[in-house]
Chains A and B, each alone.
Chain A
Amino acid sequence: MDRAPAAPVRRRPRGFYGSSNGKKAVMAVTGAVLVLFLVGHMLGNLKVFLGADSFNHYAEWLRTVGSPALPNRTLLTIAEIGLTVAVVLHMWSAVSLARRAAKARPVKYAARVKPQAGGYATRTMRYGGVIILLFVIWHLLDLTFGVVNPKGGEAMPYDRVVAGFAPDRWWVTVFYVVALAMVGLHLRHGMWSALQTLGLAHRYKALKTASTVISAVLVAGFVAVPLAVMIGVVK
């Protein structure tokens, strides 16, 4: 029997972000920023149910908040930059950790691996993240830039929403619902996972229940808008 080769000792992790724990912590913090954004975004969306004026006024407010002390769009631009940075860091860390994981198991098991901890949501994190990203790109082109919106970018926000989710564009709504389901799964695991990563998790049962409930409320709040447009409640 020949001796086993020495384990493949890698380059020592350099600095905080070089370590897998550091990357995970960045992921948790950026994920938390994105969750806060989603909560705000969902509440804003629900203004659609208060009518066109209320919704358009809210969209206008996002642009003018802080004025006259600050020029228009100052705070909005800061938020946009912050969110972009968060998404990029989050994904960069995700890709880098996924590659690390692949290297850590070069030979796969021959038997079908039976997950022992349940955790369906856990197994959707990586490909679900990619679906969410594709959706976010479409979503920005549709409702922010109006490039793929029937009314175009010049129309009022409310009209863009109604046109974007029009019944004959049902596939847009389907994509939206699928992507939101992925967001729900992502956060069902992601929210308690982030606390665990930051070393703040206790009482796992309660935490996991809270993650599930908050995710469900978020998904319901987001999905309500396109569904309402599709069935004609919002027009």
Chain B
Amino acid sequence: MNLTLKIWRQNGSSDRGRMVTYEVQDVSPDMSFLEMLDVLNERLTLEGDDPVAFDHDCREGICGMCGMVINGVAHGEQRATTTCQLHMRHFEDGATVTIEPWRAAPFPVVKDLVVDRSSFDRIIQAGGFISVPAGSAPDAHAVPVPKDDADAAFDAATCIGCGACVAACPNGSASLFTAAKITHLGLLPQGQPERAARAKAMVEQMDAEGFGGCTNTGECTAVCPKGIPLDAIARMNADYLKTASK
């Protein structure tokens, strides 16, 4: 199949950037979206052009690096799918595909489609951890965890920190990401001692980074490659309000 790509090109953070149109030929429907970009980049390299910079690592949907907005949708229109797991068979031959980086002030563009997501790291540093005394690992059954809590905590823990929630949110809010971490730790017994302080610190860091506020649009959940549900945000709000009222 042949495609017309409109790709955001920006040569470093001080460049203004622009959309550039490319044609790619002979794309196999079995290729992943990233492999299709590899084909383009190979040609650009041979022609002496600068290849399109994009983030990727595992290419198996678990690292969260490969963020890009495809035709106005984070990771493309296929639900619960990272860009590396999106296959070209979902596109029509001859289609025009627009590819842009995540757009948010706390995610500055490094180059082309690559953005700096350190703001997420700083939210984690603010409280997305548990302080445990180091030592030998406790027996697996030493701390009982109710099955439902374990399942819900695990679902939240599947967040790969890709940033699609921010990219899709009309307010540029990082609530789903932050809430996933707060839910994952706050549901487990080990997370209880720091639960209140954690919610407060992480929510404040989210604001300090310049993310927008949540208006419960649900766009984040809809594009989340891991399908983190909205009730994570309700839990974050509840934890935050509990500390704030003290």
B94 within 8 Å of A (CB atoms): no
Q: Which residues of A contact B214 (CB under 8 A)?
A: 20-21, 24, 197
The interface on chain A, measured as residues whose beta carbon lies within 8 A of the other chain's beta carbons, has a size of: 57
Partner of B13, one of A5, A103, A113, A196: A5
- Give CA–CA (A202, B235) in the complex, Å: 10
Of all chain B residues, the one with the shortest Cβ separation from A199 is B238
Partner of A104, one of B104, B216, B238: B104
B106 within 8 Å of A (CB atoms): yes
| A20 in contact with B207 given A119-B217, A122-B216 (CB within 8 Å) | yes
Q: Mask for A2-36, Cβ within 8 A of B = 1, else 0?
A: 11111111111100101111111100000000000
- Give CA–CA (A202, B233) in the complex, Å: 11
Complex contact B216–A189 (CB within 8 A): yes
Complex contact A8–B170 (CB within 8 A): no
Q: Which residues of A contact B8 (CB under 8 A)?
A: 110
Q: Which residues of A contact B53 (CB under 8 A)?
A: 1
Partner of B110, one of A4, A22, A189: A4
| A196 in contact with B230 given A19-B204, A22-B244, A122-B218 (CB within 8 Å) | yes
- Give CA–CA (A10, B105) in the complex, Å: 11
Partner of B105, one of A23, A104, A110: A104
A198 within 8 Å of B (CB atoms): yes
B241 within 8 Å of A (CB atoms): yes
Q: Which residues of B contact A117 (CB under 8 A)?
A: 217-219, 221-222
Complex contact B241–A110 (CB within 8 A): no
Q: Which residues in chain B, 106-149, are within 8 Å of chain A measured between CB atoms?
A: 106-111, 115-116, 118-119, 122
Identify whether the interface residues of B are mostly helix, strand, loop, or mixed. Answer: mixed
How extensive is the interface on chain B, given as a class?
35 or more
Instruction: Give A57 Cβ to nearest chain B Cβ, in Å.
Output: 42
B189 within 8 Å of A (CB atoms): no
- Give CA–CA (A196, B236) in the complex, Å: 10
| A114 in contact with B234 given A16-B244, A21-B203 (CB within 8 Å) | no
A-B interface pairs (CB < 8 A), number: 188
Q: Which residues of B contact A10 (CB under 8 A)?
A: 207-210
Partner of A198, one of B116, B206, B230, B237: B237
Partner of B210, one of A4, A7, A23: A7
The 11 sampled A-B contact pairs (Cβ below 8 Å) are: A7-B106, A13-B207, A20-B212, A100-B212, A101-B215, A110-B98, A111-B72, A113-B72, A115-B219, A122-B216, A122-B217
Instruction: Give B15 Cβ to nearest chain A Cβ, in Å.
Output: 9
Complex contact B108–A23 (CB within 8 A): no
Q: Which residues of A contact B108 (CB under 8 A)?
A: 4-5, 7
Q: Mask for B40-73, Cβ within 8 A of A = 1, else 0?
A: 0000000000000100000000000000010111
Instruction: Give A74 Cβ to nearest chain B Cβ, in Å.
Output: 31
A215 within 8 Å of B (CB atoms): no
Of all chain B residues, the one with the shortest Cβ separation from A23 is B213
Closest 3 CB pairs of A and B: A199-B238, A104-B172, A20-B213
Partner of B233, one of A100, A112, A125, A196: A196
- Give CA–CA (A107, B180) in the complex, Å: 26
Complex contact B216–A106 (CB within 8 A): no
- Give CA–CA (A116, B169) in the complex, Å: 10
Complex contact A199–B210 (CB within 8 A): no
Q: Which residues of A contact B104 (CB under 8 A)?
A: 104-105
Q: Which residues of B contact A6 (CB under 8 A)?
A: 118
Q: Which residues of A contact B107 (CB under 8 A)?
A: 7
Q: Mask for A118-154, Cβ within 8 A of B = 1, else 0?
A: 1100110100000000000000000000000000000
